[in-house]
Amino acid sequence: MDSTLGWSRNLKAHTYRKYLEFAALCLLAAALLWWFGRKLDWAQVSHAVRNSNPYLLILATAIISVAYVIRALRWGALLRPLGPARIADLFAATAIGFSAVFLIGRAGEVVRPVVLPMRDPRVRPSASFVTIMIERIYDMMAVILLFAINLLWFKPPASLLADFAKIRALGVGLLLLAIFGIVMLIWFRRRSQTVVDAFTKLFDRWQFIPRRITKLIISTLEQLARALRVLVNFAELAETIGWTVALWLGISCANLLVIRAFGLHFGLSETIFVLGFSLVGSLVPTPGGAAGAFHAATAAALIFLGVDPDTAAAISIFIHVIDFGPAAIFGFFYLIKGDLNFSKLRALTTPEAVEHVVEDEDLPEPKPSEA
């Protein structure tokens, strides 16, 4: 009886904490949106929107829609060494997952790897989670490399050369950091068991470190080791890298079309520069797909390149809507179809359920390398 009451109290406390965290993030989003729009002339923003090219905006939306298909295909390629998955279910899970990110922020990222096993029982939850981890590594490395390499030949306005020297130095630092990170991931994949064993022995001696922290560190290392196991086949590694290149090229082209729709004669290099700022803003875990932070970061990059603040604000709003809009529409489509079991989804997306899946489930061995 006491254990049941204790479990009930813990569940209530966890629920209240989640609501408080979400409320705090909503307040942060509201504050960022206020800061973003406090000095704008909204009549001029509206004027810029009315004079934008609708055909370029529609084309950008179509490209982003294709980008979600590419995400699903890449996810399927990552899952292939661990088991089959249907492309229709991969796309549905991707759309629903990004809809959740748009609605509740980064906390919604856990939805995508949960939805796929619900739709396709052949996919093991652990495989779904660890391949999503690999996706995040792919995307993070791709954006850093894209942004940093672009800075090597990017030519800012002449009036900004002095300030841009600091940004270029930052880009070089990011490039070196990305290369170092790739080298360390390759090393860790080969020595993961040795590393995990070493940390386990170390924490056994260091009893002063709280047990929860040591468990979290060991669990994270084990999950990363599992995730990297899917990259043992050279052909499949090349395929997933190819999908990643296609994905970010598509996103860059879509953003370029949005910028061109507002009458700016930017090229792909300027667009990638803005994209780097946008991705930094998108890391803020506010609801609405990093609402406020995304807009402020994107507008800041455009203003740095000489765009007037009102037009920069209009562009940042449309880039945000077009980047997330197709996923929200597709997610709503699956919602009205009744393809989601909300009670089961809610139960499976609690931190305890996620931790149990990634810690306790064994992954099948991937196919050996053909390289």
Which amino acid belongs to residue 119?
Answer: R
Distances from the Cα of 169 to the Cαs of 22, 152, 165, 174, in angstroms? 37, 9, 6, 9
Distance CA 89, CA 87 (A): 5
Distance CA 7, CA 326 (A): 40
Give helix 161-205 / helix 125-153 axis angle, nearest 10°: 150
- Give pLDDT, residue 268: 92
User: Which of the listed ranges 167-171, 216-220, 242-246, 355-359 does the model predict with the highest average pLDDT?
Assistant: 242-246
Give helix 309-337 / helix 87-104 axis angle, nearest 10°: 130
Collapse the DSSP code of 369 into the 3-class scheme (helix H, G, I; strand E, B; otherwise coil) and give the result.
coil
- Give pLDDT, residue 12: 57
User: Which of the listed ranges 11-20, 180-189, 302-311 does the model predict with the highest average pLDDT?
Assistant: 302-311
In eight-state DSSP terms, residue 284 is S
pLDDT for residue 6 is more than 70 = no
- 145: closest CA among 176, 186, 169? 176
52-97 pLDDT per residue, tens: 999 999 999 999 999 999 999 999 998 888 778 899 999 999 999 8
Cβ atoms of 182 and 212 closer than 8 Å:
no
- Give pLDDT, residue 18: 66
pLDDT band at 245 (very low <50, low <70, confident <90, very high): very high
In eight-state DSSP terms, residue 307 is -
% of the chain residues with pLDDT over 70 = 84
Cα 345–Cα 348–Cα 354 angle in degrees, nearest 5: 145
Distance CA 278, CA 98 (A): 17
In eight-state DSSP terms, residue 350 is S
Q: Which residue has better confidence, 242 or 350?
A: 242
Residues in the chain: 371
- 320: closest CA among 33, 22, 96? 33
Most distant CA pair in the chain, distance: 74
Cβ atoms of 120 and 86 closer than 8 Å:
yes
Distance CA 145, CA 171 (A): 9
- 284: closest CA among 33, 78, 46, 60? 33
Residues with Cβ < 8 Å from 249, sequence gap 6 or more? none
User: Which spans in the chain are helix H?
Assistant: 2-37, 42-50, 54-79, 87-104, 111-119, 125-153, 161-205, 211-228, 234-261, 268-282, 287-290, 293-304, 309-337, 342-348, 351-360
% of the chain residues with pLDDT over 90 = 29
**What average pLDDT is seen over the chain?**
82
pLDDT band at 361 (very low <50, low <70, confident <90, very high): low
pTM here is 0.84
- 């939306």: which residue's tokens? 61
pLDDT for residue 282 is more than 70 = yes
Domain limits of the chain?
A: 54-168+223-360
Residues with Cβ < 8 Å from 299, sequence gap 6 or more? 36, 309, 312, 313, 315, 316
- 């809009």: which residue's tokens? 325
Distance CA 168, CA 128 (A): 37
Q: Which residue has better confidence, 307 or 347?
A: 307
pLDDT band at 371 (very low <50, low <70, confident <90, very high): very low
Classify the phi-psi angles of 307: left when phi > 0, otherwise alpha if psi is within -120 to 50, otherwise beta: beta
Distance CA 58, CA 45 (A): 19
